[in-house]
């Protein structure tokens, strides 16, 4: 077995003349972030090194402090340290505050800043894909399948984009109901109707309006196995020719995506979300804000796909 803690460590002092960045997590060996950041660096002609850092569960704070003390410029944070990263930072962006979690850390004027680009990464990816369909998130009827951590993380960013309505359906109905109750207290949810539905009854319209959705997001962990949270027949009943089927899992064609394609729907995995959240961090670190469109998102997605 390879020793993860040796191969994945990054010492900024070992890369003279380069700005050094890394992604930190537990586990971390699978992370595609180095490929994405290397792609953006090459595209924009910047001299950086981006590596992976494995941290023991009880050593996150000291690992981060050591990295910055040695001259590191910025960190991406992945599972399970996003909450700890948020708490560690002295300065927090508004969207990090809303998520109460952070996936980006950097120093500015002697203070540790954090941001959360996961939500905006998802909505930028969805906007990009919907644009191909001549559609947008604004006023869209959205169905979220699942009521775990992944589902929870997408609700606030979708509401911020002023989608028309959000329906949450989950294998365990009570969890979908809990999630809806939790978000109904937030200010933005007042403008976006939020409802929980029983997953098997999604095709039974409870109003006069159509029971099809513009966007169906699979936020369940079912794609990691070989299952889809809904049958192909049910997917057919709740979609129309313009529906986008989006699976938050990446690196594989899930059953949910296969079913959607067989029904003639546009389907996508979540790799674009990973690339977009990286692009937002890269823009902050390299002062490219406002130049969103210059980073080659499609090229970075293709670069990661080539590694599978
Ligand atoms: P994550 O942080 O990835 O969301 P989680 O919090 O454990 O992980 O949530 C997993 C979600 O996937 C839940 O909504 C779960 O449904 P239950 O609440 O009924 O357990 C859903 N899930 C997992 N496997 C599934 C499957 N085979 N079919 C349908 N839903 C599934």
How do residues 241-260 score in pLDDT, each as one tens digit? 999 999 999 988 999 999 99
Q: How far is the CA of 150 from the centre of ligand 1 (A)?
A: 9
Catalytic residue among 32, 42, 61, 82: 82
Q: Which two tokens stand for residue 227?
A: 């299952």
- Write the pLDDT tens digit of every residue in 58-77: 999 999 999 999 999 999 99
Nearest to 277 by CA among 22, 37, 24: 37
Please say whether the beta carbons of 22 and 51 come within 8 A: yes
> Of the candidates 206, 227, 207, which has an alpha carbon nearest to the alpha carbon of residue 218?
227
Whether the CB-CB separation of 206 and 234 falls below 8 Å is answered with no
Ligand 1 contacts (CB < 6 A) are: 146-151, 170-172, 175, 220-222, 225, 227, 229
- Asked if pLDDT for residue 4 goes beyond 80, the answer is no
Would you call 82 a catalytic residue per the annotation?
Answer: yes
Q: What is the pTM of this model?
A: 0.92
């Amino acid at each position: 077995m390879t020793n993860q803690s040796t191969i994945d460590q990054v010492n900024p002092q070992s890369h003279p003349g380069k700005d050094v960045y890394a992604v930190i997590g537990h586990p971390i060996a699978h992370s595609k972030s180095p490929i994405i950041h290397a792609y953006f660096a090459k595209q924009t002609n910047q001299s950086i090194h981006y590596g992976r850092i494995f941290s023991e569960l009880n050593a996150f704070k000291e690992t981060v402090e050591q990295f910055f003390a040695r001259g590191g410029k910025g960190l991406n944070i992945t599972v399970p340290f996003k909450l700890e990263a948020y708490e560690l930072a002295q300065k927090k962006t508004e969207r990090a505050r809303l998520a109460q979690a952070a996936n980006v850390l950097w120093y500015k004027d002697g203070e540790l800043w954090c941001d959360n680009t996961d939500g905006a990464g998802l909505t930028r990816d969805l906007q990009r894909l919907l644009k191909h369909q001549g559609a947008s998130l604004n006023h869209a009827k959205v169905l979220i399948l699942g009521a775990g951590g992944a589902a929870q993380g997408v609700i606030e960013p979708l509401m911020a984009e002023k989608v028309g309505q959000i329906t949450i359906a989950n294998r365990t109905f009570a969890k979908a109901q809990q999630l809806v109750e939790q978000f109904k207290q937030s200010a933005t949810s007042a403008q976006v109707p939020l409802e929980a539905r029983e997953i098997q009854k999604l095709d039974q319209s409870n109003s006069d309006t159509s029971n099809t959705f513009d966007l169906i997001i699979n936020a369940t962990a079912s794609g990691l196995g070989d299952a889809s949270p809904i049958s192909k027949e049910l997917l057919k009943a709740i979609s129309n020719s313009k529906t986008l089927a989006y699976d938050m899992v990446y690196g594989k064609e899930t059953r949910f995506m296969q079913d959607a394609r067989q029904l003639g729907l546009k389907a996508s995995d979540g790799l674009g979300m990973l690339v977009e959240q990286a692009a937002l961090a890269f823009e902050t670190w390299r002062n490219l804000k406002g130049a969103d469109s210059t980073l080659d998102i499609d090229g970075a997605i293709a670069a990661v796909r080539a590694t599978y």
